[in-house]
Amino acid sequence: MAKRKTKFVCQECGYETAKWMGKCPGCQQWNTLVEEVSAPSTNSRHVFQTSSTSSKTKPEKINSIKSEKEPRLPTDMPEFNRVLGGGIVAGSLVLIGGDPGIGKSTLLLQVSAQIANKDKPVLYISGEESSRQTKLRAERLNITSDELYVLSETNLQDVINQIEAIEPEFVVIDSIQTIFKEDVTSAPGSVSQVRECTSQLMRIAKNKGIPIFIVGHVTKEGSIAGPRLLEHMVDAVLYFEGERHHTFRILRSVKNRFGSTHEMGIFEMKEQGLVEVLNPSEIFLEERSQGAAGSVVVASMEGTRPVLVEIQSLISPTAYGNPRRMATGLDNNRVPLLMAVLEKRAGLLLQNQDAYVKVAGGVKLDEPAIDLAVALSIASSFRDQVSKAEDVVVGEVGLTGEVRRVARIEQRVQEAAKLGFKRVIIPKKNLDGWKPSSSIEVVGVSTVQEAMKVTLGDA
């Protein structure tokens, strides 16, 4: 008999080594190497013969391949459809991750019920809950459909057998860390198990044309647990974000082979389940304080959708030698950079000031177009001058103090006009090539100093 070999695999990055080490050389994490027993290698002659006869496909000329539009399965949630690029694509494998208790199972159970209500069989596989527990959630969500099948199983082969027997139109795996393959000797949730099970599910989705959604656990840093290969294998990666003690949830797309990336959908958690928020800008601005210094509204793009959110800043004299720089909802390194630009180019003495910057509503913004709004918010709080409540600010700020052009300026201005704002401050380079609406005033600025004069007046 062939001798079984043992190896140690990092559960964070998939690094393999022949001996145990306390610190992984790949990701520099401690105590992540777990022993796994590898299957005995097969005869090399047999492998050669199998590989030489297994390939049946031949290369085709790209001009001779017929391009067909991917059929999509729409749900009753426009927000969910838009994040996926217009609906669920047949044969797609989608990975959704999020913190425990955030609502991943609730969202997928609601989507499953909506598809089942269209007389399409749906298979919901729960590896973490029993069928009765899933039934209790379904009763809370008022889900009653004869086409929705629930299976509490963790064996991959049994899952595949049920998929072939029922032939569903939609499959949910909750979660991939609980599914195991019998011929893989490592424990469920390990790198080998997750990789092999996902690969098997991917072949089923592509061969049978069944869309499969798999739930993935996340690490304490917020990324999906398991090897990075897992995100490369799937067609789309969705993150379900939000605070557990707040009602709003954000479904964000970070990878999508069939649609736009960085798309965002807003949901609100209620007693009857998740309810979509069709106009998130109104939600983010409904509690905005009028006449408060340090408050500026910015029009940010989340995928193809413009979202208006409030940026708040608090500047106060420091009581320590090193002033604090804290940011919530945006990059921590952006705040000291913009404060340095304001100090050098606009003459604001900020080196002895603590700075606290926050994006209201729990949204995370990462595009450069919010630079000008953050800078004006900091200047407003430092001067204790209130900016006009009817203003919206958009623009990227360079290190020399210039305001640079941004993309999709027309959609940002239209969203501001729709919500009743009277004026938009944008980069002057963005004024060319289009005509703004007559219901809103558009002001172009070239530098941070010019933007401060327009919004705050002369100091």
Which structure tokens are listed for 349? Answer: 């003495």
Structure tokens at 441: 């005033």
CA triple 222-227-231, angle to 5 deg: 75
Q: Is 119 annotated as a binding residue?
A: no
Element (H, E) at 20: none
Q: What phi and psi values does residue 172 have, to the nearest 5 degrees?
A: -120, 130
Cis peptide before 313 (omega within 30 of 0): no
Paired with 88 in beta bridges are 73
**Token pair for 306:** 């413009």
Give CA–CA dist 86/93, Å, rounded: 15
CB 93 within 8 A of CB 235: yes
**Cα(332)–Cα(427) distance, integer angstroms:** 24
CA dihedral 446, 447, 453, 454 (to 10 degrees): 40
Report whether 102 belongs to an annotated binding site: yes
Q: Is 103 annotated as a binding residue?
A: yes
Q: By C-alpha distance, which of 197, 199, 173 is closest to 183? A: 197
**Rounded distance, CA 261 to CA 453, Å?**
36
Pairing state between β 170-174 and 122-126: parallel
Please tell me whether residue 271 adopts helix, strand or coil conformation: coil
Does the annotation flag 362 for ligand binding?
no
Structure tokens at 261: 């990336």
Q: Are 324 and 371 in contact (CB under 8 A)?
A: no
Q: Which residue is it, tokens 């729409």?
A: 74
Q: Give, for 367, the enclosing helix (H) or strand (E).
A: none
Classify 239 as helix, strand or coil: strand
Distances (CA, A) of 346 to 43, 151, 294, 425: 73, 63, 17, 18
Q: How far apart are CA 326 and CA 105, in angstroms?
A: 34
Q: Does 104 belong to an annotated binding site? A: yes
- The response to whether 78 counts as a known ligand-binding position is no
| 100 is known to lie in a ligand binding site | yes
Do the annotations mark residue 432 as ligand-binding? no
Q: Which two tokens stand for residue 45?
A: 């002659």
d(CA 302, CA 265): 9
Write out the two tokens for 119: 């007389």
Binding site per annotation, positions: 98-105
State the binding site for ATP. 98-105
